[in-house]
Structure formats: C-alpha cells, structure tokens
Structure 1
Amino acid sequence: MAGVNLKIKKRLLFILCVFTIMTLILVLRIAWIQIYSGKEYQEFAYNQQTKNRTISAKRGTIYDRNMKPLAVSGSVDTVSASPQEISKQKLDIDKISSELANILEMDKETVKKKLTKNSQYEIIKQKIDREIGNKVREWKSKDKISGIYIDEDTKRFYPNRNLAAHVIGFTNIDNDGLDGVERMMEKYLKGVPGKILSETDASGMALSMSDEKFIQPQDGNDVILTIDETIQYFAEKALEKAISDNNVLNGATAIVMDPRNGEILALASKPDFDLNNPRGVPKGKDPETWTGKSKEDVEYLQQTVWRNKAVVDTYEPGSTFKPVTAAAGLEEGAITPDTQVTDATVKVGGWNINCWKPNAHLHETFREGVYNSCNPVFVRLSQKLGVPLFFKYVKAFGFYDKTGIDLPGEARGIMFTNPTEVNMATASFGQRFQITPIQLVQAYGAIANGGDLITPHVVKEVVDETGSVIKKYEPNVVRRVISRQTSDTLKSILYGVVDVGTGKNAKIPGYKIGGKTGTSETIMDPKLLKLNIVGKNKRYIVSFSAIAPTDNPSLCVLVVLDYPDVYNPGGGMLVAPVVGKLIDDILSYKGVEKEYTEQDKKMLLQEVQVPNVKGKTVEEAVKLLKESKLEYKIEGSDTDKKAIVQDQTPKSSALLHERSIVVLYTYKPQEEAMVKVPDVKNKPVYDATQAFKKLGLNIRVNGTGTAVSQSMDAGTKVKKGTVIEVIFRNVVSD
C-alpha cells in the first residue's frame, strides 16, 4: 500500500512539475509578447480591425522669381475598393465591373480582377478628373454599393508645359519628385500624407455604427526659383530659332546668370519635353511601338529629351576659354593689354600651332590678339606663366570641380591629372579637355563681378502656406580668383571683341556687350551613335559666351549649339547673333535704357540692299538674308527648308536698315498678310523699331531723338514687310 501511495505521489509531483514548467513558459511568453512584441501585435490587431485609405498631401507650388506658377497641384480623385467588403454583399460582380470600367474608361476584366482579390484595400484608378469622380459617386449612390471609395487626391500640373522643363523636373504618379527641382527639393515640396481610418469586423466589413477617422494631410511648402519666366521664354525661343536656322543635330543649351549673386535667370536645354507627359513619344519615334516605360525607351529619353545639356554634357570650350588664360596673365603681370605680341607659328611638342587666319595678323597688341582670337598669342602667354601657375588659375576658376548647382546629375569636367607643356599649350586656347556649360558660366561670372567665383543656383527660397520664409538661399562665394582691376581690364577687352573683333555679330547698338566666340571639333558620344540619334562620327560644337552691360554687368549669357549641320560652322557667325538678340530682349525687358555712341547711331542708320530671293529655297533665301544682315519672317511653311519662296516683301533692291525684316511667302498669296501701322510718336528710336518689328514692318530712321512724325498714319492697313519712314528729333529747351 505504501508503494502505491509513493507511486501516486511521484506521478502527482511529475504532473505538478510539468504544469509549473508549462505555466512558467506561458508566463514568459506572455511577458515577451507584452514587452518585446506588443507593438507588433497591436498593429496587427489594429490593421485587422481597421481599414485605412491614404489621402495625398498637396505638393507645394513651384514659382518663378516673380511668383508666376511653374508647377502646381490640382484637385483630382482616386477610386479604390474593399474586395472583402464587396464579396459579402452578394452583388453581381460582373455587372459592377462593367459599369465601373465604363465610367473610368478601363478594361472590364482589369477592374473585375481588382474587385475579386482577397484583400481589404485595392486601388482601382488614380488621379482621375473630378468630373469622372463625381460620376462614380452618383453611380455608387444610385445603386447603393458599399466598398467602393472615391477620395480626394492631387495631381501635378505644369501650366507652361515645356518651359524650363530641365529645371523644374517632374513627378511620378505618387507625386514623388523624379528630376529637376521636383527631385532636389523633395523634402520641402512633398508634405505628409493623411489617412481615412474605418473599423471593420472579422470578415473585413465596415462596422455600420463606427465613424471614419480622418487624419489631415500636411501640405508641402512652396519653392520660389531664381528663374524669370519671361527671360526663360526668350532663351528657349532663341534656341529654337538657332536650331532651325542651322540644322542643329544634337541639341543646344542656353544659360543666363546674374554674376552678382549666381542666380540663374534662365536655363534651357533642347530637345525638351512636355512636363505633363514626360514619357510621351519623342520626335522620330513610332507612336505604335513606343511605351515610354521599357528599358530601351527610358534609355532613349535619358540620352535625349530628359538630358539637361547645361549641367550633364561636357565639351571642349574652344576659344570661349581664352579669357581664363588672359585673366591669369593679367593678374600675374605677365602681360598688359598693350603688350606687343606676335601670332607667328609656335611649335610645341613637335606640333605647329598657327593662327586661324591664313594671312596671320603678325605683330599686334595683346588686346588685339584677343579681338582676333589668335591661338599662338595664348600659347606664348601660357608659356610665360608655366604649367603650375597656369593650372593654378584653371583650378581657381572652378574647372576641376563641380559647380554645386542645385540640379541633379551635374557632371565633372574632364581635366588633365598630370599636365604637361603640351597640355598647357592646347588648354590655353580651350582644346583637349572638357568642361560643362555651367562651369564656363560660373567662370565668366567671376570675370564679370570683380573676381569672385560664386556657386550658381536655381532656388531662391522656400516658403510655407502663410508666406513665411523657411529657407533662404544666399549667394555662396567659393573663393576670390582675380582682382577687380584685372576684372575691369578684361571686361573692356571683351567689349572690344564684340565691338570690332570676332564677336561683332553680337553687337547691339545702345548696349555694351562683351564676349568670346568658340568652336571645337569633338568625337560623337558612342551612346548617341548606338541609339541612332545622330549619324556621323565627328561633330562641331559652336558657342558664344557674353557679359552685359560690360560697365556694370547684370548678365552672363552662354549659348552652345551641338553639331550644326552647316558649311563652315563657327561661333562668331552662328551663335554671336543669337546671344546679341537674346541680351537685347532681356535688357529691354528689364528696363535698361540704351545709350547710343556715335558709332551706334551710324550703325542704326546704315542701309543694305534687299537681295532677290524669289524662286530660291527657304534655306537658300535665309542664308542670303543673313549675309545681308537682314532678318526674315516666313508666311506659309516655316519647317520645310526646301520650300520655294514664291514672293517677298519688300521687293529686291529696296534699301533697309540692318536687322530689318523681309517677309518670305512660300505660297502665292491671294491676299498678302496685312497689319495695322502702330503709332510710334514720342517714342525713341529703339522702341519705335521694336514696335514695327513685332508686326513684321520695317522702319526707315530719319534723325535722332524721339519720333515726331511717320510717313503712314497709325491704323493704316499695310502689307507685312512695308517700309515706313519715321522722323526723329532731339528735344531741346531754351
């Protein structure tokens, strides 16, 4: 009996031990869950008992410097569904799918697949117009369908479409910035999304007695750019015309910067794209096969229309780099503007370097050497400085570093790591190394502003919804490169380049413009050849870099044309006139008054004979007019360069002032284009000229001062191209 009791006791003891151990394990497990996994299980239970729908925050607006909107967020709707809730209602899924697909303009099977998924939440279609969203609301209310949701959302909209595309950038469907300022300023623009929470039962159905909880989204901040919408428009139109006139095959770029603070007023890159449809079909691609999403399509977009040539592309600057060499020589006292130099052939490393002019200029002053852009003059100057000192200035001007501009993808220039005498010789006139356009503009900024290298930037400030400034971007001086004296001397030399030298095609009477031409030959990027974007192995890049007004610079302007398909390409011939007109447009827009020298007045009054271009192709006619220093306007096809000119106004042999307009007709006009003569009385010469030009009319200037009379009364209807004489007189007082 005692043995039996002992066995029972042992058995009970064993059971007790097992129970104690199991209880201890259970307690420890509960403690572990409470302490370490409690939050996870709470979230699991919360998610199981609730259903949430995201409400997008309104992305901040991007403005130009004058508070003109460049990127805005409009109100749209997003349609979503709870398949689990729908499945409990015993609805006709086939019918619902068909009706909803019809409203949303979607494939019925796609909608049906989303509505029958085993999930609590499924997006049906995002970013639909509010009008369509209201149709879904009406349909849902009429058929008393629960489990379909229409929530307010936002969609990015760019009112100016292509304008400043590479600066502004774009977003994806979730409003995340993918490029440009949209990407760089994401943390300020994005905002914090809100939520709509609703309680559900075990099956995922919304509880009828529970209220939805709304967590308000926090809208993003606004970003104000340094860009001026009007100046940006001028720059883009200038590029488009230059590309068309010169059959430019690989795009172009233009940068306008205020050298006093590094603010970018305009930055244009061509080809470009519509920001509202960044994956749209590029020119030359088949719309039937283009998706914009395949690996090949995206690579093509990145290499062409999305490519910001101003900061991504590198190129040989050619003679536009010569002012850097000149700055080094002037700063070190190795030369003065009046030092006698020679452009005789110089031999470096077995290579003869000659002046571009067959009959060399021979002996000249250094100032004249810059005017004439003589390569041997700059080689000899670099030799006076020596390799270490010369490249010290190249580095000081920022060519070994990125500029730090607040745009994505900036490339670094390709510079010599251990430069030799030969490297220095070729670099002195801008060859055998590569830089980005923005690097050159930054360097010219230092020449213009008195010697400070300043970081270029496109963002001016960030403000909240009340207009309070959250972040302000002040000018960042990287270093001092040259003295104010050297800066002033160099500006006067560059003014001479435009006044009497190789840049004279950029001259605008009344404005002091300084600048330098550039032409370089380079090998085509293998990627572009592979993608069949261009078809030749070699290409020319022509450019013109300018400062204006030279006595008090407020503009640095660079225009680069990549691969103009013309005979005898050169920056002075092709790009200088583009930059001159662009500066003219900008300074006039900014209200900078013209101050005419006696030479300017003579230039304004100088007349040329209109050539006969009837029967010629548009391409041939334009070439003849440009050689005669005349501008043109095409009535008819302005894209077909092989179209034949059927008529012209004024007729051949007529006398016009330089830069006047000849209207070309590529069709036999039944009725020639007519315009009303403007009233230019009391206007100065420039304003009167511009008033006529805008209408396609020409002016014959008689006298100086302000207009006192005109040969045709204001309001008279005349043909475009008609010449109207205006008499000007200076106002004098006793």
Structure 2
Amino acid sequence: MNMLFFVVFLLFSALIFRLGIVQIVQGEDYQRKIERTEDVTVNTSVPRGKIYDRYGKVVVDNKPQNAITYTRSSNADPEEMMKTAEKLAQLIEKETDQVTERDKKDFWITKHPKKAEAKITDAEWAAYKADQLTEDEIYDMQLDRITETDLSELTGAELEVLAIYREFTAGYAQTPQIVKNENVTDVEYAVVSENLSSLPGVNTTTDWERAYAYDGTLKTVLGNISSSKEGLPREMADYYMARGYSRNDRVGKSYLEYQYEDILRGQKTKMKNVTDKSGNVLDSEIITEGQRGNDLVLTIDMDLQTAVEKIIEEELTKAKSSYHPFLDRAFVTMMDPNTGEILAMAGKQYTTSDGKPKIVDFALGNMTTSYAMGSAVKGATVLTGYMTGVNEPGERIVDEPLYFGSSAKSKSSWFNRSGAMSISDTYALMRSSNVYMFKTAMEIGGADYVRNGGLGINDEAFPTMRKYFGQFGLGVKTGIDLPNEQAGYKGFIDQPGKILDFSIGQFDTYTPLQLAQYVSTIANGGYRMQPHIVKEVRKPISSTNKIGPIAEEIEPNVLNTLELEPGWIEQVQEGFRLVVHGSEGTAASYFGDAPYKMAAKTGTAEGVYDGPLKEKGKNEMTWNVTLVGYAPYDNPEVAMAVVVPWAYEDSSSSIPINHYIGRRAMDKYFELKEQRASEKPAQAVIDQDIVPKTGTETSDADESETEESEDE
C-alpha cells in the first residue's frame, strides 16, 4: 500500500511540474498561438495583358517601375503610422498636389492640439461636458474655424509627411498600398530598402504602368485605365468589388481596355496572412500564384494604321492651307469584307491649343459621330429597289429634271439639268444619277411621277427603305466589339419629299464605320459582317518577345444575309466597277490607273453646318465628301470608307480630298501587301478567310454611253 501511495505521489508531482512549465515558462507562447487568426486573405496586383497588332507588333505594353508600398496592420496605431510617415519623408520626395484642404485641416489639428482646443469657447466646452454637444460636433467646429493663416503654418516638409500619411490610410488592412510609384529614383529605392527594419509596414517592390509603343496612334480606341491613386471608378465600384476587385485596383475605364477588362485584368496573387490579436503578421502562405492578364491580338495592321493617319494629317493640313474654315476632321475605315476584321480605323481632328493649330487623334469618331454621306449610299438604294420589286437588274429609267407642284425649281441629276435620257442601273451608279434614285424611292412609296403633279408618297416609304438600308448596316449599330457605338441620326421631318433626299444620302446620317460595313456587304456578295477589332486572345508567356498560344479566336459573325436573287448584287458591283473603270465614272480620274482593280462609289452631301464652330442663328451651308470602295473588284480583300465632313462651303471651292485620301490609303494597303510577300515573315498572326463568298463575276457593260466626267 505504501508503495502504491508513493507511485501516486510521483505521478502527481510530475503532473504538477509539467503544468508549471506549460503555464509559467511557455504560457506566453501558447497564449499567442491561441490569439492567432488565419483567415486574412490578401490580393496583390499583377500587370495587365499586352495588346498586339495582327502581325505580332506590341501596341500596348507594361512598363516596370520602382514602387514603395505600405501595408497597414489590422489594428494600426495612427501615432505609429505618423512616425513611420515622418521617417519615410526624410528618405523620399513625395508630391503634395493630391493633398486636399480637408487633409490639411485634419493634419493641423493633429500637429497643433492646443491651438485646436482654443478654437472652442469655454461655453462650448461646458456644453460638451454636459452632453449637449457631441465630440463630432466639436471637431466640425474646429475644422470650420481653421483659417488660411493657420494652414500656412504647415511647412513643405510637413505637407510631404501628410501626403505620405494620406497614402498610408487610404488602403485596406493587410493589403499593400502604393505610396509612390512614379519617378522613384534608384537612390530612393535603395535607401528605403536599406531602412525597412525601421519602417514597419513599408516595403519596396516593382509596379507597372501602361506603355504605348505608337504614342497617340489609335489611343482613343484603345481606351485607358484608372490610376493606382484613382482605383475603381466610383460609379462602378460596387460592380467590381462584387467580382473580387479591391477598391484601389486599376481597371479599364473606356473602350478596348474596358470592353476586354475580364481578359486583360489577370489573376492576382492570393496570400493568407497569419496574424496575432494585434494584427501583426506572423507568417504568410501563398494560396494562388498570380499571373498577368491574357494578351489581345488586334485585327489592326499598325503599319497601315500609322500610314493612313499620316495621309489624313497631310491632306487635312494641305486643305486647311486654303480657306476652308469648317473643315476640321477626316475619317478612314478599312476592313476585310469577308471576315469583318478592322484593318485600320483612323481619324484626325484639326484643333487649336493655346492659339496654335494642332491635329489630334479622333479614330473614335469612326463609330461615335455620324454625317450625311451623299451618293455613296446609292448602291443600297438600287438594291432596295430590287428587293422591293419596283426595279429589275438592267431596267432603264428616264433621267430628266423632275418638277413637283407649282415649283419652278427642278430636282435633277448633276449631269442632266434639262434633257431626258434613258439610263440603266449600272450607268446610274457610274455617273451617280439622282433621278434614278428619286424615281426608285417614289415607286417604293407608291407614287408615279407626273410633271407638276403632287408627290403622293405613302407613309410606308420611310419605314420600308430604312428597313432595307439597315440590312446593309446603314442606320443601325454595326455590332463592333467596343462600347458606346452610335447608330446615327434619323431625320424627323415627316414630309413626302424627304424620301427623295433619303434615297441619295442627304437625310439620315451614318457613321464612317456603318459606311464601311455597307460597302463590305456589297463587296462580299450580301453578307453583313460584324466588324471586330480583336482577332485573338493569347495566353501570356514570360518571354517579352514572343506571343503565347491561342486561348480564344474571334470567329467571323454574319449578322444577316441579304435576300437576293441571282445577279442582283453582281449588277450593283458592276456599277461600282464602272465608277472607277468606266470612261464617265466619277472616280475614274483618281483610281483608273491604280495597279489594283478597284470598285467604288463617290458621294457628296450638301447640308447645314452643325459642327463646333456653328454660331447661334446662323445656317452655314457646307458639303460633306465621301468615298466607299473595295479591291480587287473580282475577289475583294479590303473594303474602305472615307468621310470628310464640312470639306468646303460652295462648289467653286470644292476639293476632292476624299479621293486624295482614298487613293493614297488604298495604295498603301497594296504596297504593304507586296512588301510582306517579298519578305520572310516574322512570327505573325495568320489571317484566315472564313466567310463563304458568292461569285462576284463582273458582267459586260455597255460603255458606249459613257463619257469623261467629274464627280457629282
């Protein structure tokens, strides 16, 4: 029994000894482990995906830059943060332009507590102690009573500390916040790195910024991203945060960067921080490795894009040297009519800055501005006549001056002011007959022409013609893969005679991109292709000089197919061919000698100037000049639309700037094609024709009627 008691005594002694070690010697360690939390997940930013042109040339890249960050603990002490900011301010230079007046007032109260206390009267302090005033009300009084003189007491060094402290408090707990990432010198980076042990929460890292290889080229279409200071746009913050973004993340704000945000954004590095009860990080564990965003390959040929932009600039400058006060912009859209791929989308605007002339990028105007396009749309009018059954291919119509009611003024074609002549549809397109289009529209509206009679067009004329025009892409959105596309403007004056203006492109307005889609539909045999500016999505790879494997390919999309009988569209294609190759073609003198086989339609539209220089009460008349075309006409591979609004004010000062731009742009396309064919291609994106095409054989035309002419 004694032995048993002795054993029990030894066991209890050992237990008591062990409990003493656990509670006294190791108690603090175990208490710290109990107070740990392991559910703090941190996301760190990664660079966005790059953007390439169709031949693999970098358009938008990520430029690395030195950065200084601050990670705030969960229970950060403002005084400790201020001390850290003061130390950091001695090591780096920090701009203070983002510091607000409210920031200065808050900082002044912190730096001058006694002076701030003196801003409150004894009676107000008594009311505060009596719970008649709250602490917030007292603070608001102090803020209101701080004067400009008070704020002037803050020195430049103190403002620099304030600017840094402001960045410290802007971020989330446990999430790195950029303190400085612009113009961080190597000296600053090195000095801060050497003193990290005395700067709790501060770290040095590598950040990024967007770099544009072609400067301002296509910049309005590429869009922009928010800055690290701006973070999520306020109006979209809830949307992005619901999708896993942090409030200070950079996102696409406009156009391409915005449209493809989900692809370009990348996958953040996710880390789990193990912290103690005070929020101090004890350990970190990587949950998910980060990866920069996927890359975009554009359909744009940057060599062609830059060349076309230069052409527009030169022709605009040349035209402005004459007296053309309203001329201030020009647009060119070039696309593959078989796939809808945009090869170039150029626009330039002539403006002034500080009294000096300046030409800026306005490529976006191809899809956000609209104009009366004139006779360039007559191909749609002729085909609408076929599709509604009022005309047949080859049918002849008498071109003659038309007189309505008691008006002594006629509506006529530019080349026939007095006589009557029987013309075919192809001749009407070649010479740009207005009367052929007028009579087609009248028949669609159920009216027969009687000299000096009434017009008698029914109410279905406008809806019918607009419906068929929409099948070409005129007056409806093209469906391009960019936001904020405009559909154009529908004339609202409900007068029967306006359908005549509509038929020759002088009533509704269309965008240059719609004009390109329209001529592409004619070029490819009746398929309205959805234009797109992104060709492929590529996976990112570490090499800076190579494009990764394809993640997604943007397939051509046929939005609708024209319901055509055999030979209908070929008849219009023949008319477009004669515009260039007929002896009386309105573009023959500009494209007839081109080494490529071009088909085209010219346009001129008269209207009231409604641009930025319009004066209230004044109705200045101006002329828009346009051009659509494609080549080669027997196997189209490129379609083009040229739009120059407000080119001149009267016919005596007319300039064929649309032809100059169009000829040079099309020349450049085929010049680049020939040049690439003779060179060994670098790693490039392979073009593929996917859309089936109908036959585009040209028919023999009777050119015995044709004569040398000018544009209408």
TM range (shorter): 0.5 to 0.7
Secondary structure of the structure 1 residue equivalent to 2:441: helix
Distance 1:316 1:54 in 2: 51
Report the equivalent of 2:400.
343
Report the equivalent of 1:721.
none
The 5 Å alignment of 1:334-373 reads: 334-337=391-394, 339-347=396-404, 352-357=410-415, 359=417, 362-366=420-424, 367-373=426-432
Distance 1:225 1:505 in 2: 35
Report the equivalent of 1:408.
483
Distance 1:122 1:110 in 2: 22
* Residues 1:569 and 1:517: Cα distance change in structure 2 (over 3 Å): farther
Report the equivalent of 2:474.
399
The reply to whether residue 380 of structure 1 matches residue 435 of structure 2 is no
Report the equivalent of 2:237.
none
* Residues 1:78 and 1:524: Cα distance change in structure 2 (over 3 Å): farther
The 5 Å alignment of 1:222-241 reads: 222-241=295-314
Q: Which residue identity lines up with residue 113 of structure 1 in the other structure?
A: L
Q: Which residue identity lines up with residue 570 of structure 2 in the other structure?
A: D
Indicate conservation of the 8 Å contact 2:271/2:284, yes or no: no
Measured after TM superposition, the shift of residue 448 of structure 1 is 0.5
Moved more, 535-544 or 556-565: 535-544
Q: Which residue identity lines up with residue 226 of structure 1 in the other structure?
A: T
* Residues 1:389 and 1:537: Cα distance change in structure 2 (over 3 Å): closer
Q: Which residue identity lines up with residue 579 of structure 2 in the other structure?
A: V
Distance 2:559 2:580 in 1: 29
The reply to whether residue 563 of structure 1 matches residue 646 of structure 2 is yes
Report the equivalent of 2:665.
582
Distance 2:81 2:219 in 1: 49
Distance 2:206 2:84 in 1: 27
The correspondence for 1:426, drawn from 484, 501, 505, is: 501
Distance 1:357 1:177 in 2: 52
Over residues 344-396 of structure 1, what are the superposed CA-to-partner deviations in whole Å (9 max), with x where a residue is unaligned? 23438967412234755741523333222231221012223332654442232
The correspondence for 2:365, drawn from 309, 334, 353, is: 309
Q: Which residue identity lines up with residue 267 of structure 1 in the other structure?
A: M
The reply to whether residue 504 of structure 1 matches residue 588 of structure 2 is yes
Indicate conservation of the 8 Å contact 1:342/1:364, yes or no: yes
Report the equivalent of 1:480.
561
The runs of 5 or more residues in structure 1 that have no matched partner are: 1-43, 273-281, 288-300, 594-626, 628-734
Measured after TM superposition, the shift of residue 400 of structure 1 is 4.2
Indicate conservation of the 8 Å contact 2:601/2:627, yes or no: yes
* Residues 1:123 and 1:110: Cα distance change in structure 2 (over 3 Å): farther
* Residues 1:164 and 1:561: Cα distance change in structure 2 (over 3 Å): same
Distance 2:59 2:415 in 1: 47
Report the equivalent of 1:470.
551
Measured after TM superposition, the shift of residue 427 of structure 1 is 0.9
Indicate conservation of the 8 Å contact 1:111/1:124, yes or no: no
Measured after TM superposition, the shift of residue 93 of structure 1 is 5.6
The 5 Å alignment of 1:185-204 reads: 185-195=260-270
The 5 Å alignment of 1:550-699 reads: 550-564=633-647, 568=651, 573-591=656-674
Report the equivalent of 1:157.
211
The reply to whether residue 459 of structure 1 matches residue 534 of structure 2 is yes
Distance 1:185 1:89 in 2: 38
Measured after TM superposition, the shift of residue 445 of structure 1 is 0.9
Indicate conservation of the 8 Å contact 1:453/1:478, yes or no: yes
Q: Which residue identity lines up with residue 372 of structure 2 in the other structure?
A: E
Over residues 601-646 of structure 1, what are the superposed CA-to-partner deviations in whole Å (9 max), with x where a residue is unaligned? xxxxxxxxxxxxxxxxxxxxxxxxxx9xxxxxxxxxxxxxxxxxxx
Indicate conservation of the 8 Å contact 2:647/2:655, yes or no: no
Measured after TM superposition, the shift of residue 407 of structure 1 is 1.3
Moved more, 401-410 or 132-141: 132-141
Distance 1:90 1:537 in 2: 64
Report the equivalent of 2:603.
518
Distance 2:558 2:654 in 1: 30
Measured after TM superposition, the shift of residue 153 of structure 1 is 2.1
Distance 1:102 1:334 in 2: 74
Report the equivalent of 1:167.
221
Measured after TM superposition, the shift of residue 102 of structure 1 is 6.4
Distance 2:422 2:209 in 1: 63
Measured after TM superposition, the shift of residue 152 of structure 1 is 2.5
Over residues 255-310 of structure 1, what are the superposed CA-to-partner deviations in whole Å (9 max), with x where a residue is unaligned? 001111111111112239xxxxxxxxx841599xxxxxxxxxxxxx9xx8667111
Report the equivalent of 1:284.
353
Secondary structure of the structure 2 residue equivalent to 1:254: strand
Distance 1:483 1:349 in 2: 41
The reply to whether residue 548 of structure 1 matches residue 645 of structure 2 is no
Secondary structure of the structure 2 residue equivalent to 1:137: helix
Structure of higher RCO (CA pairs closer than 8 Å, 6+ residues apart): 2
Indicate conservation of the 8 Å contact 1:503/1:572, yes or no: no
Distance 1:238 1:412 in 2: 27
Distance 1:181 1:264 in 2: 14
The correspondence for 2:572, drawn from 464, 472, 490, is: 490
Measured after TM superposition, the shift of residue 316 of structure 1 is 1.0
Indicate conservation of the 8 Å contact 1:78/1:133, yes or no: no
Measured after TM superposition, the shift of residue 432 of structure 1 is 1.4
Q: Which residue identity lines up with residue 61 of structure 1 in the other structure?
A: K
The reply to whether residue 74 of structure 1 matches residue 63 of structure 2 is yes
Indicate conservation of the 8 Å contact 2:506/2:606, yes or no: no
TM-score of the two chains, using structure 2 as the length reference: 0.65
Moved more, 102-111 or 54-63: 102-111
* Residues 1:171 and 1:517: Cα distance change in structure 2 (over 3 Å): same
Over residues 391-412 of structure 1, what are the superposed CA-to-partner deviations in whole Å (9 max), with x where a residue is unaligned? 4422322334211111111011
Indicate conservation of the 8 Å contact 2:345/2:363, yes or no: no
* Residues 1:497 and 1:153: Cα distance change in structure 2 (over 3 Å): same
Indicate conservation of the 8 Å contact 1:62/1:70, yes or no: yes
Indicate conservation of the 8 Å contact 1:451/1:480, yes or no: yes
Distance 1:517 1:78 in 2: 55
Secondary structure of the structure 2 residue equivalent to 1:76: strand
The reply to whether residue 99 of structure 1 matches residue 181 of structure 2 is no
Measured after TM superposition, the shift of residue 421 of structure 1 is 3.8
* Residues 1:512 and 1:176: Cα distance change in structure 2 (over 3 Å): same
Report the equivalent of 1:441.
516
Aligned length: 520
* Residues 1:197 and 1:421: Cα distance change in structure 2 (over 3 Å): same
Percent same amino acid among aligned pairs? Answer: 24
Over residues 302-324 of structure 1, what are the superposed CA-to-partner deviations in whole Å (9 max), with x where a residue is unaligned? xx866711111111111111111
Moved more, 305-314 or 256-265: 305-314
Q: Which residue identity lines up with residue 155 of structure 1 in the other structure?
A: E
Measured after TM superposition, the shift of residue 176 of structure 1 is 1.2
Distance 1:348 1:450 in 2: 41
Measured after TM superposition, the shift of residue 100 of structure 1 is 1.6
The runs of 5 or more residues in structure 2 that have no matched partner are: 1-34, 99-155, 229-249, 321-325, 446-460, 542-547, 678-709
Over residues 488-509 of structure 1, what are the superposed CA-to-partner deviations in whole Å (9 max), with x where a residue is unaligned? 2212211211233222343143
Secondary structure of the structure 1 residue equivalent to 2:291: coil
Indicate conservation of the 8 Å contact 2:66/2:189, yes or no: no
Distance 1:283 1:417 in 2: 34
Secondary structure of the structure 2 residue equivalent to 1:176: coil
Q: Which residue identity lines up with residue 451 of structure 1 in the other structure?
A: G
The 5 Å alignment of 1:114-263 reads: 114-116=163-165, 119=169, 123=177, 125-128=179-182, 132=185, 135-142=188-195, 144-147=197-200, 148-174=202-228, 175-195=250-270, 210-211=283-284, 216-247=289-320, 249-263=327-341
Over residues 681-701 of structure 1, what are the superposed CA-to-partner deviations in whole Å (9 max), with x where a residue is unaligned? xxxxxxxxxxxxxxxxxxxxx
* Residues 1:570 and 1:176: Cα distance change in structure 2 (over 3 Å): farther
